[in-house]
Amino acid sequence: MRTAPTILHLDMDAFFASAEQAAKPSLRGKAVIVGGLGPRGVVATCSYEARVFGVHSAMPMAQARRLAPNAAYLVPRFGLYREISEQVMRLLRELSPLVEPLSLDEAFVDLEAGQRAWDERSALLAGRQLRADIRAVTGLTGSVGLAASKMLAKIASEQAKPDGLVVIEPGTERALLAPMSVRILPGVGPATGDHLRRGGISTVGEIAEAGEDELVRLLGKAHGVALYAMALARDERPVVAERDTKSVSVEDTYDVDIHDRVRVRGEVQRLADRCVQRLRAAHLSGRTIVLKVRRYDFSTLTRSETLRGPTDDPAVVREAAARLLEAVDTTGGVRLLGVGVSGLADYTQEDLFAQARAAAEEGAGELAGGEESEEVAEAVEEPEAVVERQWRAGHDVRHAEFGHGWVQGSGLGRVTVRFETPFSGPGRVKTFRVDDPALEVAEPLPLVERGAPPGAGEVGSAGRGGEG
């Protein structure tokens, strides 16, 4: 392991929620919860103000509403989050060629590989500068951990939250880890934690005291050996710049179970097209088509079919997904559908026979003009048409007279909008008919004014209020 804390872990502070607070002055310092707002939605991110009430990520949204009924509930704006994430990742790549993104808001950086740090002092300077640059470029804050290994750097960033920086000095790791819960170690989830607790082990120090043989007896050789090494602060995992994508997939969860077989077919076709769009955007193709179906009773079925060669042709993926669906009983209702492609390659070897079959079937459908083909087309196209005029809570709008704002809520033929921007201060609220021709969907505004001097993007508590 290294002798200097030159591995950096960055975790943006409550990324989604803090971005929403930065964009919406009226929400700064208030409880904000971002996620799916339907009956089956879950919390993606919540602000620290919401956590006071016991709300946390992955919690069912219905439970969050009971705990924090007066919080602001918003639908995610992934386009904005990806744009901010790209800005942050560019800053990280200026520090080192070895950047390992874990998600939109989290990454490891090998400062030594970028010759930006070689001891504690230089690592501290790099970490402080990074935090200042992130605030200047995005208007948000991130917490930084510095240590001699990835595991410890991540633990340090957790300790730094919110909006801080923590260094774990080499030589102090075991004393730091000893009193911590076993759940702090990578690979220890609820099930493993319960298993260890039944064996009389609840802290990292107790893992070290138990010894490797006892860990192997409890967890098996591979897991036991790895966990014992981590309890001794041994973690030789390198920062890996590129991770191989194993699959590309999309899925939708429905607020109301789908019973109509024609609607199910249409949804699968729509998901297949979306999956291919992602596949092509990543310049990939794949051989194995995967269908995922979660039924009314929460049972989940997965079916797959492997083609003779990789493809990124939407007709081929649609045809394979449709064949897989025929083998699944959906009569009781469907609550989730997903389509994925695995066995990826960075080239396309067309399956000409499959394409020919798909083209023939599509042509036959057009010639027949039957009732079922029209219903399938309607099922595929209808969601896209509805989305254009849906007023989603938290999303951006523009009014011809009042300018830029965001949707506070809608229902009963009305939509309520608060008119404000990241730089305006709290704005006024107005209500309109949902079909008001003066109101239209808008693109998110940047959180930092273009050309503003460093530090101008700071927006009060916006960076401190969310998922860590």
**Active-site positions?**
106
Secondary structure element (H or E) that encloses residue 432, with its range: strand 428-433
Tokens 């991770």 correspond to 243
Per the CB < 8 A criterion, the answer to whether 347 and 297 are in contact is no
Amino acid identity, position 201: I
Strand order in the sheet with 439-441: 428-433, 414-419, 403-411, 396-399, 439-441
- CA gap 434, 21 in Å, rounded: 25
Cα four-point dihedral sign 314, 319, 322, 323: negative
- CA gap 307, 357 in Å, rounded: 13
Residues in the chain: 468
Of the candidates 334, 337, 336, the residue with the CA atom closest to the CA atom of residue 257: 334
Of the candidates 445, 439, 446, the residue with the CA atom closest to the CA atom of residue 391: 439
Cis peptide before 162 (omega within 30 of 0): yes
User: For 465, phi and psi rounded to 5 degrees?
Assistant: -110, 55
Q: Which two tokens stand for residue 87?
A: 């800005």
Q: Which two tokens stand for residue 344?
A: 């990826």
Of the candidates 68, 75, 63, 91, the residue with the CA atom closest to the CA atom of residue 17: 75
- CA gap 302, 324 in Å, rounded: 9
- CA gap 277, 261 in Å, rounded: 25
Q: Which two tokens stand for residue 22?
A: 């930065």
- CA gap 188, 145 in Å, rounded: 20
Give the contacts of 377 (CB within 8 A, at least 6 positions apart): 266
Of the candidates 183, 139, 145, the residue with the CA atom closest to the CA atom of residue 161: 145
Q: Name 406's bridge partners.
A: 396, 418
Q: Which two tokens stand for residue 272?
A: 């297949």
